[in-house]
Amino acid sequence: MKSMPAHSTARTARMADSLKLLVLGFGFLILALFSATLAQGEEKIIKSHGYSFFGDLKYPADFQHLDYVNPDAPKGGEISTWGFGTFDSMNPYSRKGTSGALASAAFESLMSGTADEIGAIYGLLANGLEYPEDLSWVIFDIRPEARFSDGAPVTSEDAKFTYELFLKDGLPSYKAVLAQIVEGAEVLGPLRIKYTFKEDAPLRDRIPMVGGFPIKSKAWFEKTGAGLDESRMEPAIGSGQYVLDSYEVNRWIKYKRNPDYWGNDLPINRGRGNFDFIRIEYFADGNAAFEGFKSGAYTFKLENSSKTWATGYDFPALNDGHVVKKTLPDGGIATGQSFVMNLRRPQFQDMKVREAIAHLFNFEWANESLFYGQYARVHSFWENSEFAATGIPTPEELALLTPLADKLPEGILTDEVVMGVTSGMRATDRKNLRAASALLEEAGWIVGDDGLRRNAAGETLKIELLERSPAFDRVVLPFVENLKAAGIDATYNRVDPAQYTDRTRNYDFDVITDQFPMSMEPGSGLKQYFGSETADESVFNSMGIKSEGIDALISHVVNATDKETLKISVRALDRALRAYRFWVPQWYNATHRVAYWDMYEHPETIAPFSLGELDYWWYNADKAKALKDAGVLR
């Protein structure tokens, strides 16, 4: 379930993915797994150290450490990476302002996932959970040793306060989903909290929803009078392993490991949280950031530029062996990066216009000429997974789609699933240009003597592509030229990060680059991305899609109670979303491209769902000393 307001770029999304386990995964001790259920009247109560709706828990109650960590990793040192633009807030739960990178790292939840499992969660602040077979409620027992960074104990009052805070001041799209799932929270004791669920709430989302609240200090909010939905530089206190150390707006943020962190001795923390400091250096664009990396201004870079990866890594520190450059496997779903059309705009109401625009982006040429052949095409919202729809609908998909056919695009029952348009190896594909022109004419946009297309009212077909990163210039400008060649009055407008944030959050754009990072066990969070109810409020539904058919398919997904039904439901939803053609899918790479100054190490096997550079990598003090002694790193 998404609860943060960040509007991610590819870089931010990957950083958030790497940090997800750092934020939520520190500090839980595994409680013994009770193999038997306890009878309480007619109700069977299950007590466990972890939870998975489908019943699959990889880790037993007595495990000593996660499989993907080095349990003997040394502690110490600093790792630094880069952030884009700037920040003016340290509150990551507000739409107001731009939150500093990793601002949510201070907060822990009652339960947490791991980087090598799907759908399983284990006790973190809670030492376990108990619930009936019908999942009508859940009780968590908070660890008595759990403490906020100011030394105050984490209590059930804090857990209840957090629920009420998000219900009152959380993101509108999140509040709507929360209200549909949770009936209420009840304090049963100083460390015992019970959540009751609504009868019609989706079963799979119940326990993960309440187990995933980032627990807030009730005392801190009452003392300061702070609001969850406000922009502020004073961070709220949390219980996590890292706390804010210092910052300078427009330049850097530094976090330090809390020496009094309550969970230092927990088995789940073995081999994790190994750095004394984590620092983020801010740069105006990727080119400046790369120059900063080469000079040692920061020490770890997750490379998101194919051109830089192919041509830029030829500098003395790398050639002399002081910098490591490598690729590491990435087993996650592609982020769904794409050009997204704002359906709130009148020029995008006709699907033929949207289809025409998709014909004018030439991925094959861009991949060969601009990306050095490093990418594969995104076609699906669940690209690189078994959930991606293929071919024509299967009989099982048709069973879901047929009753909704009149509420979904024409051809949904018979046509091949919509794929990204294939182009030739020239910047302008003449065949696709002709196809786009024909579609635009069918939609009533006719070319005039000046080469521009106009509708019956004499209005030109204007489209502005909005961007904030200079790295996208070389991608967007050829796309704009193709749009112009088709008679579209297309412009490219690159603005500063603050203006970009303001415009996108107010839906003041025609086309932007956005992402749709999906889960391998998707649930109610889909409503924030694609649901009608919050389409005019959600920061995730950038295109503003409102469809009764999509809403119904989302319900099928969230109510799926076995893995096969889930797979069929997601494929049907994926097929329907793609049929609306509100996006022009871009590209993805199934590897992590990393470069770092040679003083960091990682386990031989990287976790499949997290690179983990800020989580389970570690600092080699001897290598760091050698770099400093050589005078190549200060």
Q: What would the pLDDT profile of 43-85 be if each residue is shown by its tens digit? A: 799 999 999 999 889 999 888 999 999 999 999 999 999 999 9
**In the predicted model, what is the mean pLDDT of residues 618-630?**
96
* Residue 513 vs residue 173, higher pLDDT: 513
Closest CA to 420 of 255, 598, 578: 578
The verdict on residue 28 lying in a domain is no
550: its two tokens:
């999509």
The verdict on residue 264 lying in a domain is no
pLDDT digits (tens, 9 = 90+) for 544-597: 999 999 999 999 999 999 999 999 999 999 999 999 999 999 999 999 999 999
pLDDT digits (tens, 9 = 90+) for 458-476: 999 999 999 998 889 999 9
* Predicted local distance difference test score (pLDDT) of residue 42: 61
| Amino acid identity for residue 379 in this structure | H
Phi/psi of residue 127, nearest 5 degrees: -90, 10
| Amino acid identity for residue 587 in this structure | W
Distance CA(210)–CA(163), nearest Å, equals: 8
474 contacts: CB under 8 Å, gap ≥ 6: 307, 370
Distance CA(408)–CA(319), nearest Å, equals: 56
Task: Look up residue 162 and give its DSSP letter.
Answer: H
The verdict on residue 84 lying in a domain is no
The verdict on residue 282 lying in a domain is no
| Amino acid identity for residue 17 in this structure | D
0.75 exceeded by the pTM? yes
Number of domains within the chain? 1
The verdict on residue 596 lying in a domain is no
* Predicted local distance difference test score (pLDDT) of residue 15: 40
Closest CA to 577 of 549, 602, 596: 549
The verdict on residue 221 lying in a domain is no
**In the predicted model, what is the mean pLDDT of residues 148-155?**
97
126: its two tokens:
């809670």
Residue 382 structural domain: 338-588
* Predicted local distance difference test score (pLDDT) of residue 388: 97
**In the predicted model, what is the mean pLDDT of residues 357-382?**
95
281 has which bridge partners?
82, 252
Q: Tell me how crowded residue 167 is: count the other CB atoms within 10 A of its CB.
A: 15
The verdict on residue 357 lying in a domain is yes
pLDDT digits (tens, 9 = 90+) for 93-150: 988 888 999 999 999 999 999 999 999 999 999 999 999 999 999 999 999 999 999 9
SS3 state at 514 = strand
* Predicted local distance difference test score (pLDDT) of residue 63: 86
Distance CA(473)–CA(470), nearest Å, equals: 5
The verdict on residue 40 lying in a domain is no
Q: Cα–Cα distances in Å, from 584 out to 253, 460, 609?
A: 35, 22, 26
Q: Position of tokens 């409020």? A: 537
* Residue 355 vs residue 3, higher pLDDT: 355
* Whether residue 8 has pLDDT greater than 50: no
Parallel, antiparallel, or unpaired for β 583-585 and 338-341?
antiparallel
Distance CA(260)–CA(265), nearest Å, equals: 11
Distance CA(107)–CA(25), nearest Å, equals: 10
Burial 597-616 (b: 16+ CB within 10 A, else e): bbbbbbbeebbebbbbbbbb
Distance CA(72)–CA(65), nearest Å, equals: 10
CB 515 within 8 A of CB 13: yes
For the chain, give the percent of residues with pLDDT over 90.
84
Distance CA(385)–CA(401), nearest Å, equals: 21
306: its two tokens:
């194919």
Q: Cα–Cα distances in Å, from 93 out to 5, 24, 115, 170?
A: 6, 15, 24, 7
Distance CA(420)–CA(632), nearest Å, equals: 46
* Predicted local distance difference test score (pLDDT) of residue 265: 83
**In the predicted model, what is the mean pLDDT of residues 411-419?**
97
Closest CA to 502 of 85, 176, 168: 85
400: its two tokens:
């879901």
CATH of the domain at 485: 3.10.105.10
Query: How many residues in the chain?
Result: 634
Burial of 39 (0-12, 13-18, 19+ CB in 10 A): exposed
The rounded mean pLDDT for the chain is 91
Closest CA to 28 of 135, 134, 108: 108
Distance CA(19)–CA(22), nearest Å, equals: 5
